[in-house]
Amino acid sequence: MENRTPYFELNLQAFKGNLKRLEYLQQEAKVKILHTLKSFNEPKVLPLIGEQLLGMSVSSLKELELAKEAEAKHIHLYSPAFKADELSFMQEQVDTISFNSLSQWRRFSFVTKSSLGLRVNPKLNLPIPNYCNPNVEYSRLGVDYVEFLEQYKKSPKEFLALEGLHFHALFQSSFQGLWLLLEHIESNYQELLPRLKWLNLGGGHNFTDDSYEVKEFVKRVQEFHSRYEHIELIFEPGESVVSSCGDFVTTVLDIVEVAGEKMVILDTSTETHLLDVAIVNKRLKVEGTSTEATAYFYTLTGNSCLQGDCIGEYFFLEPLKVGSRVRFKDMIGYTMVKMTEFNGMEKAKLI
């Protein structure tokens, strides 16, 4: 009997393969890799991540609870802004904290039970989509590095509690992204590096992609450690943990023809299960489709009451019919976390 759609299907073997590669990087490069819960937070799978990675990165009380339940070895806390009462509670249960702004640093750096850091915007010139580029001049994520360095030079005593710096500057990046980031750090923070205990180099590292230059990564990190052996390097690869590990499966409920165009209504919705489509206009990979024109051209749509609930136009290799399964490839990362119950639809489960 087939599973009732829609659902997410996890390829456990591929998932364990990703964890094995990340565990190898931890051991060979002597770095700390944390799983970012905003990218994937399925409770029944998190314990596997907790076993093999050296920690988790959280941004809220809910995520902290999940990390603790998964027995995360190290917990890092970061949020664009903290509420005083929540931070007071969380700071006793995490190992490291990154503040996002100088104002939050000045307000909350009295916290002493955790190792404290500050997120900095390095303003790197990298090819990153605008909606998620933290390097832009107008980014609210992190302190402008020029402003931070000027303030540090002006008032070093203000940063006596500072033990780490946090850079989240990359996006699905190859080894070259890390190289640029480390070059920026070694060029601009010479006065600070001798006294820091850790650097969180954030997410966007495409560690589990087959093309990622693993040997070059290990070599570059070892070079950095040879100069700054007292600094621990932390990475939060996020999507890499579940990259290419699972699909989203739906069913064709109806096919209607409007102005000569065949529109397929699926048992899903962009605003319920596929916010990656609704928010960033991402073109999804659909099994059984072609990049070249075929006789079977369809517009895939959702089953909500929104006229704009459109997933995209695709050429299929075979005709669709009511009851056909439509499988969206590589949909575990971020998609599951963003699900809602819009229009009364149930959240899709992981099988």
Residues 175 and 74 in one domain: yes
Q: Percentage of residues in the chain with pLDDT exceeding 70?
A: 99
Residues 187 and 236 in one domain: yes
Indicate whether 18 pLDDT > 90: yes
User: Per mean pLDDT, which range of 46-60, 81-95, 271-285, 328-342 is the poorest?
Assistant: 271-285
Q: Both tokens of residue 297? A: 């051209």
In a domain, 207, yes or no: yes
CATH assignment at residue 296? 2.40.37.10
Confidence of residue 238 (pLDDT cuts 50, 70, 90): confident
Dist CA 351 CA 343 (whole Å): 23
What pLDDT digit, counting tens, does each position of 244-284 carry?
A: 999 999 999 999 999 999 999 999 999 999 987 777 777 89
Indicate whether 339 pLDDT > 70: yes
What pLDDT digit, counting tens, does each position of 154-172 carry?
A: 999 999 999 999 999 998 8
Q: What is the pLDDT of residue 172?
A: 85
What mean pLDDT do residues 188-213 have? 94
Residues 222 and 86 in one domain: yes
CB–CB of 298/314 below 8 Å?
yes
What mean pLDDT do residues 226-253 have? 95
Q: What is the pLDDT of residue 1?
A: 64
Domain holding 38, by residue range, is: 31-241
What mean pLDDT do residues 93-117 have? 93
Residues 85 and 216 in one domain: yes
CB–CB of 250/266 below 8 Å?
yes
What mean pLDDT do residues 45-69 have? 97
What pLDDT digit, counting tens, does each position of 296-316 carry?
A: 999 999 999 999 999 999 999
Indicate whether 235 pLDDT > 90: yes
Residues 108 and 218 in one domain: yes
Final residue of a structural domain among 223, 241, 259: 241
Residues 200 and 116 in one domain: yes
Mapped onto helix, strand or coil, the DSSP state of residue 66 is helix
For the chain, the straight-line distance linking the first and the last C-alpha, in angstroms and rounded, comes to 14
Q: Which DSSP helix (H) or strand (E) runs through 165?
A: strand 162-166
What mean pLDDT do residues 139-163 have? 96
Q: What is the pLDDT of residue 132?
A: 85
Q: Both tokens of residue 147? A: 């402003």
User: Per mean pLDDT, which range of 28-37, 88-97, 128-137 is the poorest?
Assistant: 128-137
CATH assignment at residue 200? 3.20.20.10
In a domain, 218, yes or no: yes
Identify which has the larger pLDDT, 315 or 239. 315
Given the structure tokens 């209504």, which residue do they identify? 265
In a domain, 19, yes or no: no
Q: Percentage of residues in the chain with pLDDT exceeding 90?
A: 87
In a domain, 139, yes or no: yes
Number of domains in the chain: 2
Confidence of residue 79 (pLDDT cuts 50, 70, 90): very high
Residues 145 and 111 in one domain: yes
Going by C-alpha positions, the residue among 88, 112, 87 that lies closest to residue 100 is 87
Residues 98 and 179 in one domain: yes
Indicate whether 46 pLDDT > 80: yes
Given the structure tokens 């995490």, which residue do they identify? 94
Dist CA 320 CA 298 (whole Å): 9
In a domain, 280, yes or no: yes
Identify which has the larger pLDDT, 267 or 111. 267
Q: What is the pLDDT of residue 328?
A: 96
Final residue of a structural domain among 220, 241, 262: 241
Indicate whether 153 pLDDT > 90: yes
Dist CA 115 CA 156 (whole Å): 18
In a domain, 8, yes or no: no
In a domain, 22, yes or no: no
Final residue of a structural domain among 241, 275, 308: 241
CB–CB of 320/299 below 8 Å?
no
Residues 213 and 337 in one domain: no
